[in-house]
Structure 1
Amino acid sequence: MLDDLRLFIEISRWGSFAKAAEELGIGAPTLSKRMLALEDKLGYPLLLRSARGLRLTNHGQAVVDEMADPLLALHAKSETLSTLEAKTFHLLCPQNLIIDPLYDALQSFQSQHPDIQLHVEPANSVALLSQKRFDLAIRVGELEDSSVYQKRLGQITVRVVVAKEIATTQTLFLPFKASQIPATDEWLTLLAQFNHVSYVGDITLVRKLVGSENGAGVLPMTEIAALRAHSKTAFKYIGDCQFTRNIYALWPNQQIPPAHTKDFIEQLQAQCQALDYLQGAILSLS
């Protein structure tokens, strides 16, 4: 009804169906039918139609006096919705990625959009995206939620690493579920070398345990890069087994991401391309 009321206001301004229809881009017969339907809904006539043209009824004039200004203002405001930009941006991301290899992308996005209130939820546990409010999510590994759109940013190789001083350790820290480890004979043989396999549900914690020489760990290259950068300890790989995990950017609702989301994805992609270990490369420990 609000749309039809706005059409009626425009008709009252132009004084004829033909002129109003031309300005609105609507056929005059269609406009006339919609006014008849509006009058039927309201229960009283709005227009007096004659060979000399249109005149407002008393009810019609009362509607114009009451509704013209707010309806035209509302229409003008609604015209800006197509270019409206949100003032907040919600990012879901693995903590170990956003505080280190992808931090520059986050900082760059914030610098380019200083007016945006950025809400970052850094967590290594994977929650169903359908239960979260987000504009962009970063995920690594197999995706379980098919209700969102995705773009592959890169990939990370995973290997078993240990401090050289305790290279014969019988303890292995595993940050992945058994279903995430390749069920190949090579991996099963490698895991069988350890008497104690401990599941630790946080990749950063596994890295700290390996760095403190508490045992070996199955770690992605992102964490091995952190070991190299922040530890004076020498490390080595155990065996040749490896697998890769893809890095994805995910967003909801529409195939083509909104402008801010697109900007952030481009920053992330540039950062992934700048770091070879985010493109599947294996870091040297020599």
Structure 2
Amino acid sequence: MESLFHLCKSPGMLDLNDIAVFVRVAQLGSFSRAAQALGMPVSTVSRRVTALEEELGVTLLQRTTRKLSLTVQGRAYYEQCSEPLNELHDAERALTETQRTPEGLLRISVPVILGQAPFFEFVSDFMRAYPRIRVDLFITNAFLDLIGENIDVAIRYGDLHDSSLVARNIGTSVRYVVATPDFLAGRKLPQKPEDLMGFECVMINARNNQAEWLLTKGKHRERVHVTGPLSSRDFNSVSAFVYRGHGVGFLPTAYCDEMLASGELVRLLPEWASPEFPVHAVYPTRRFMPQRLQVFLDALAAWQSPSWRRA
């Protein structure tokens, strides 16, 4: 499949197909991975990039036996071409999709906190509603490169730092300070945030088993330095050790609401909680949106997730 755009190359003009191939090579950092993504032979990918370099009169890619990297000119050219090319590609696709039922592959990245039954049920219902959409799901706390990994949409918690992405707010989340009754047995309950410094805590993303928790009560804010026997990189494991009585946890409501209701966990400092932090659906900046992404975003906005409060 050598033609990416149904456009002709006029004399003296650059071939947009060559530019599209170069952009994909730059994104994936490999001729072979780009060839696989584009459905082309590696030799065709290499030939098209070489043809583009000859037309421009510059070297875009530095090739060695071990590494492929952009030259200074290649980086500048990629930054100028990638987004307009995406818009052109989406415009062409939008023209062919406007009268169709939403279909095609939808690649979705979500954090580990969503890797539970409620979200799986939501995706299952969505696929039944749109049987011609296929889903490729990434469950990871890593902030994947949506363009480089060719991901359509990601759900992310907290403040966003990538200004090149479109962000749609879908809710807010909050954390509570909790522990098991067995862990608290014989201990004096904390009366103020600083009392937590006397408790063993189970933390997320701590350094040297030390962390700082920010708690709020109305307009009051307190930062508390906590320590403990265990830290992890995801709330699934943090909550598991809190449930097993290894210390106090600072857990999102999705991980503690049911156990608070059943009495298996106790909320400490009930007037205090984390600041509310936003939950966003983010996707690459594009003027034209594939129908499969539009209907997914609409379904997501209508869904009430137990891990966030509706925006």
TM-score bracket for this pair, using the shorter chain length: 0.5 to 0.7
Give distance in 2, aligned partners of 1:256 and 1:119: 21
Taking only the aligned residue pairs, the percentage that are identical comes to 19
Cross-structure match for 1:124:
141
Which one-letter code corresponds to 1:252 in the other structure? Answer: P
Displacement of 1:155 in angstroms is: 0.4
Unaligned runs of 5+ in 2: 1-6, 11-91, 188-197
Give distance in 2, aligned partners of 1:245 and 1:79: 34
Q: Does 1:247 align with 2:279?
A: yes
Displacement of 1:237 in angstroms is: 2.5
Q: Does 1:175 align with 2:175?
A: no
Cross-structure match for 2:308:
278
Q: Does 1:81 align with 2:96?
A: yes
Which one-letter code corresponds to 2:96 in the other structure? Answer: L
Which one-letter code corresponds to 1:165 in the other structure? Answer: D
Give distance in 2, aligned partners of 1:177 and 1:146: 27
Question: What TM-score, normalized to structure 2?
Answer: 0.55
Cross-structure match for 2:254:
222
Cross-structure match for 1:105:
122
Contact 1:186 1:241 in 2 (8 A): no
May I ask how many residue pairs the two structures share in their alignment? 203
Which one-letter code corresponds to 1:196 in the other structure? Answer: G
Cα 1:152–1:180 change in 2 (3 A) is: farther
Displacement of 1:136 in angstroms is: 1.1
Cross-structure match for 1:160:
177
Displacement of 1:211 in angstroms is: 0.9
Deviation digits for residues 208-235 of structure 1 (CA, Å, limit 9, x no counterpart): 1111111111111111135458x87242
CA RMSD for the aligned pairs? Answer: 3.6
Superposition pairs of residues 231-246 of structure 1, within 5 angstroms = 233-238=264-269, 240-246=272-278
Contact 1:187 1:241 in 2 (8 A): no
Displacement of 1:266 in angstroms is: 1.8
Q: Which stretch shows the higher mean deviation, 175-184 or 158-167?
A: 175-184
Give distance in 2, aligned partners of 1:232 and 1:207: 15
Contact 2:256 2:265 in 1 (8 A): no
Q: Does 1:266 align with 2:281?
A: no
Which one-letter code corresponds to 1:175 in the other structure? Answer: I
Question: What TM-score, normalized to structure 1?
Answer: 0.59
Which one-letter code corresponds to 2:248 in the other structure? Answer: A
Displacement of 1:195 in angstroms is: 4.7
Give distance in 2, aligned partners of 1:187 and 1:123: 30
Cα 1:100–1:119 change in 2 (3 A) is: same
Superposition pairs of residues 1-20 of structure 1, within 5 angstroms = 2=8
Q: Does 1:148 align with 2:180?
A: no
Contact 1:162 1:237 in 2 (8 A): yes
Cα 1:226–1:136 change in 2 (3 A) is: farther
Which secondary structure state, in structure 1, belongs to the residue aligned with residue 256 of structure 2? helix
Cα 1:112–1:173 change in 2 (3 A) is: same
Which secondary structure state, in structure 1, belongs to the residue aligned with residue 162 of structure 2? coil
Give distance in 1, aligned partners of 2:308 and 2:94: 43
Deviation digits for residues 96-125 of structure 1 (CA, Å, limit 9, x no counterpart): 214244333212211112222210001123
Cross-structure match for 1:207:
239
Which secondary structure state, in structure 2, belongs to the residue aligned with residue 247 of structure 1? strand
Which one-letter code corresponds to 2:199 in the other structure? Answer: Q
Contact 1:172 1:198 in 2 (8 A): yes
Unaligned runs of 5+ in 1: 5-76, 282-286
Give distance in 1, aligned partners of 2:235 and 2:296: 24
Deviation digits for residues 226-274 of structure 1 (CA, Å, limit 9, x no counterpart): 5458x872422346242222110011131564321121112222223x7
Larger Rg over CA atoms? 1
Which secondary structure state, in structure 1, belongs to the residue aligned with residue 179 of structure 2? strand
Q: Which stretch shows the higher mean deviation, 80-89 or 144-153?
A: 80-89
Contact 1:159 1:243 in 2 (8 A): no
Structure richer in helix, relative to its length: 1
Displacement of 1:95 in angstroms is: 2.3
